[in-house]
């Protein structure tokens, strides 16, 4: 499926025209598919966007199967929820692909309000097996309180 240039219709692989409004959130197989479906609606609040996104039956699996796509989508959620979900996502992701999760933080989240939450997830995912690396990441957190809290918890590891 792909959006045409007017973004009001989708076309399937056969060229059949499908109205976006007729598609449900469960028609999306990946976070990027769902972003195409609902990400163009300028009247959606962050809460409404999140609810539509979470309505997809695959949402919980996407954190593990499509973490880089989920980072993009989470950025549209309300900040308190997106912070928590970002931490969970990176806690899992760093264990599966340190390089990809590191690259996302360094490149995609460099100026994002979600950066500290992503780093917290990295620290959580690394502390059991790679304590020195976890400590190095904890030092990268900009929020003084959160940084000190994480460093103190790592000191008791």
pLDDT in tens, the chain (157 residues): 333 222 333 334 444 333 434 457 787 899 999 988 886 667 888 998 899 889 899 999 998 999 999 999 999 899 999 999 999 999 999 999 999 999 999 999 999 999 999 999 999 999 999 999 999 999 999 999 999 999 999 998 7
pLDDT at 39: 64
How many structural domains compose the chain?
1
Give the span between the Cα atoms of 15 and 12, in whole angstroms: 5
Return the ∠ at Cα 145 (arms to 143 and 146), rounded to 5°: 65
Question: Which residue range forms the structural domain that includes residue 51?
Answer: 2-155
Phi, psi dihedrals of residue 144, rounded to the nearest 5°: -55, -45
**How many residues in total does the chain contain?**
157
Report which secondary-structure segment, H or E, holds 18. strand 17-19
53 within 8 A of 62, measured Cβ to Cβ: no
């Amino acid at each position: 499926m792909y959006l045409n240039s007017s973004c009001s219709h989708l076309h399937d692989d056969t060229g059949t025209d499908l109205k976006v409004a007729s598609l449900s959130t469960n028609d999306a197989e990946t976070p990027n598919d769902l972003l195409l479906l609902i990400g163009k609606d300028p009247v959606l609040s962050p809460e409404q966007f999140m609810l539509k996104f979470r309505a997809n039956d695959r949402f919980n699996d996407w954190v593990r199967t499509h973490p880089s796509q989920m980072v993009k989508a989470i950025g549209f959620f309300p900040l308190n929820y997106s912070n928590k979900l970002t931490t969970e996502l990176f806690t899992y992701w760093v264990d599966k692909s340190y390089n990809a999760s590191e690259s996302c933080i360094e490149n995609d989240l460099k100026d994002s309000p979600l950066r500290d939450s992503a780093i917290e997830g990295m620290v959580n995912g690394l502390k059991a097996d790679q304590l020195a690396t976890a400590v190095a990441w904890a030092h990268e957190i900009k929020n003084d309180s959160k940084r000190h809290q994480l460093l103190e918890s790592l000191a008791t590891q």
